[in-house]
Each structure stands twice: as C-alpha cells, then as structure tokens.
A and B are shown apart, each in its own frame.
Chain A
C-alpha cells in the first residue's frame, strides 16, 4: 500500500432499514494523517456509516475501501489496522484494566502483548490502576480505557463514534485532550459527532452529514466563510419583535436562524447600514451557524 492511497474511500454508499434510508448516496474520502469530523444531527446516518466501515453493517450499494482493502470482502484485513472506539462502553467490567487491554491485544494478534498493554496504559494514564477491576474505575477512567483499548495494536486509522456523547463536561475535556494528542501525533481519525464544539476543537476538516449524505466538506474556517459569514448578529426580545425583525431582515436578502431564545442573522457584515437593530449582539460567524443553516437542526 502506498502513502497515496487514502485511509478511507467511500463512493455512492447506501443502506436502508426497511423504509428508512439511513445512508443515502454517501461520498467520503479521508486522507492519511487527517482528523475528519463527521458532524451531523441524530439520525443522520453516522453510526450506520461507522458500522459499514467495520463490516458490522453490509451496504446495499456503493463502494468502500479502507486502507486499500475492499469492504466487505477484505474487511478482516482492514480491521486489523483499524482501531474502533464505540459510542457505548463495552468493557469487560469484572476483569482488570490490564486484562481488558491484553484481551484485545491478543484479538489483534499483537506480538508483544505486555509492551502494548504498558504503552496504552501510559496513554490512558491508568498505569497505577492496572490491577483494578474495571467496575472500580470512575466514569472518566473507563472512557480513557475504552479509548486506549482501541489503540493496543497501534492502528493506522482510528474510528471514534460520538466519543463523548452523554459524558459530563469534565470527562469530555479529558477525552478531548487525549484525542488531540493522537491527532497531533499524526493518527488518521474519523470522528462522528453531533457536538459542534467537538468538531471545532478536534477536526482538521469537517464533513457535515444530514439525511445519509455529506452536504458540505471543508475546514471549519472555510465552512464558516462559505456558509455563514464574518459576523453573526444575535437579536433577543419578545417573540413578536423577533418575528418582525426576522421578516424585515429576510426581505433584505439575509439569512436568519433561530438560536434558542434569540434569532441569529448570519453574514451580518453584508447588511445595509441601519438594517440590523442597534441592540443586536455581534459575534464572529461560527460552525454552529453553518450547522444550523445547513441541517436545519438546532445545535447542541
């Protein structure tokens, strides 16, 4: 395999569950060394895509190549070089921290199991807890162990499916630090998320996914420049007033989105003088603006 082969190549991928088109013509190429954030609302088809990459779901049509291997026929070869961190904790809770890692090192046929365990314990900062049963660990430690388990075989590609969903903010920050470290060491990462902040902080590039397809793909800065603008103006007030401002601004050709109790006018820098109310709060255009404009979903 040459360095030119992308880590992931997906073309025209589809997968339906009965009447539901979970993935509907997905195209996605991830080059080596990139951390790609697959950002999409719940139900966009992110997990289904991940499952097809690990061979746990079989596509109805389309092509998938992972690390140069055709899926599903050569899936086993691809999985040997791929690390997977699931959305839900599936550690073996009765056995020790180090046994959890050793079990997976053997499943991946790692030659020096002891060294792999030591190395990943170090990454997860769990060396001093190695002899403890998993059910004695805190939530944050379990998450770090789950991530470390996906690294026992030093994978060329790491799949993270909503790695911090449902976690409290402190644990999330801990994990972000770990993922950030992997990213800067050059590991290729495909990370699905519906948290904008997560994509913004960790991803080199973001693919926005909705209804089973990628609808936009670029660096966060490029996405903001293209789909939002330099500045966004948020207007607060009673619903009547917001509706009034909204229709006025929209008539002038600007785009407006709901933002919790407020409305946000994107690309406010393009507005004619005096159009935007005096009391509006101006801030830089954000990935959140992009996400909401593109998917129509409220952001989290």
Chain B
C-alpha cells in the first residue's frame, strides 16, 4: 500500500486560500461591522451606564471594563456564527465541499483549514474592541500582544463548535436554537458587561465552564495584569479547542462521507 499522508500543510493552506479569495470579496462589510459594533456597545453601555449608574468595577473604569470584555463578544460572533452558517451553506447550498473532497483533500484537513482560517480572522477582529477602547483611555501594555493569541485559541474552539452544529442540523433555521440556547447565554454571562462575582453561586460556578468568561478574564489580565491562574485558563481553552476539533471532524465526516 502506498502511504497516504494526513494533515498536509500544503492542502490546509490551499483550503484556507479558497476562504481568503472569497473573503476578499466581502471583507469590507465584515470589517465595518467588527469595528462599528464595539463602538455602539461602548457608547451604549460604557458611556451610558458608566456615566449614570456605575463608574468603575474593581478599580477599572467602567468603559474600559466593557471595552476589554467586548473582545470575547467579537470573538464569538466572528467564529461560531460564520462557522455554523458558512459550513452549512458550503455543504448544502453551494456544494463547495463536494468539489473540495473530490480533490486530494480529506475531511480532517478541510475542518482544520476552516478552523484555522476562522481562528486567524477572529484573532484580528478580536483586537478591534481593544483598539477602540484605547480611544476611551485604555493604556497600551506589552502583554496586550497576547490578546490575539487568546482570541485565536477561543475562536478555534467556537469554530469547531459551529462546524459541529452545522453538521448536525437538518435545516438552517435550527440555528436559532443554537444561538438562543447556547451562544446568547454564554455571551451574556461572560463577565463582559457586569462582573460575575455579584451573581448567585450557581452562576459563578457555571461561568467557570464558559469559555467566553475565561477569555474575558484572560483579556483583562493582559490589559490590567496577568495572574498565575491565567495559565490554567489558557490551558483549558487549548484543551477545549482540541477536543472540539476532533468532534467537528467526526461529525462533518459522517455528514459528508455517506
């Protein structure tokens, strides 16, 4: 038997290249949304609440508290949702995956490439809220260079989750359940807009299992001072990304190979 190689870098790059070529046709609208959204949130929450109800959280000015938390919002909405809708559309409507898998590409490489592409995009978009918040007085700090890495790993996990969902639903409107039941709760109880430690105990424990909460904590650490426990948080996100990567491959294989 001739050797069949797995996870070939050239193949993964080629699949990412396809995404890049397509992305160039719509990057403007995506970049606009990614910049504009945190600005809206910052005005609404940061300045609205910040100048009326709350002034600071644990010594952090409220607008900066929200601004740093919005990195996680940007990451989840630029990873889970594009992965979910993108995968479904490419699988079902455009039949793109049929074309790709007829080439010497396997599902493992396909999923890996799609995740890496989304991860890289989110690593960039995740930085936008931080940059915007700098205009609201956030001090630049060298450890902030870790933020794209934190964003990247979290986005890998959420893109794998999105691919898994896309490979599991039979109709596109079932994504409403995923958004309402999974993504919105994770987003709301991530410590973005209010600190978790004021919630009931049950919520606080649950939040520990929320990858977005861990990301928010890591980003705030990078902006205002990291702690030893942040290594554990990061390791947790890496482990989650790896597990969900394998799950996504398995689900999409059973969808695409009949």
Residues of A within 8 A of B (CB): 17, 51, 54-58, 69-70, 73-77, 79-80, 82, 84, 86, 88, 90, 92-95, 99, 102-104, 106-109, 133, 149
Q: Which residue of B lies closest to A81 (CB)?
A: B104
Q: What is the minimal beta-carbon distance from A5 to any residue of chain B, in angstroms?
A: 13
Q: How many B residues, CB 8 Å from partner?
A: 31
User: Which residues on the B side are within 8 Å of A56 (C-beta)?
Assistant: 98, 101-102, 256-258
Is A79 in contact with B2, judged by CB distance below 8 angstroms? no
Q: Which residues of B contact A104 (CB under 8 A)?
A: 99, 103
B257 touching A90 by the CB < 8 A rule? no
Given A55-B257, A56-B98, A74:B105 Cβ within 8 A: no
Q: Which residues of chain B have C-beta atoms less than 8 A from A94's C-beta?
A: 22, 25-26
B 112-146 to A, binary, CB cutoff 8 A, 1 in contact else 0: 00000000000000000000000000000000000
Q: Is the CB of A90 within 8 A of B4?
A: no
Contact of B11 with A by CB under 8 A: yes
Q: B224 CB to closest chain A CB, in angstroms?
A: 42
B201 to chain A, nearest CB (A): 50
Q: Please indicate the chain B residues that have their CB under 8 angstroms from the CB of A77 in the complex.
A: 2, 4, 104
B99: min CB distance to chain A, Å: 5
Whether B22 and A79, one on each chain, are in contact in the complex, defined by CB atoms closer than 8 angstroms, is: no
B13 to chain A: closest residue by CB: A106
Whether, in the assembled complex, B1 has its beta carbon less than 8 Å from a beta carbon of chain A, the answer is yes
The contact of B104 among A17, A103, A108, by CB within 8 Å, is A108
A residues in contact with B14, CB < 8 Å: 103, 106-107, 109
A165 to B20, CA, bound (A): 32
Interface core residue of A51, A74, A90, A104 (most chain B CB under 10 Å): A90
B10-30 interface with A by 8 A CB criterion: 10-11, 13-15, 17-18, 21-22, 24-26
Residue of B nearest to A95 (CB): B21
CB proximity to A under 8 Å, residues B48-103: 94-96, 98-103
Among B2, B11, B15, B104, the one with the most A-chain Cβ atoms within 10 Å of its Cβ is B104
The smallest beta-carbon distance between A35 and chain B, in angstroms, is 19
| Contact in complex: A76, B4 (CB < 8 Å) | yes
Partner of A79, one of B25, B94, B98, B102: B102
Contacts of A84 in B (CB 8 A): 99, 102
Contact A76 B25 (CB under 8 A): no
Give Cα distance in the complex from A84 to B5, angstroms: 21
* Inter-chain contact A79/B104, CB cutoff 8 Å: yes
Minimal beta-carbon separation of A162 from chain B (angstroms): 14
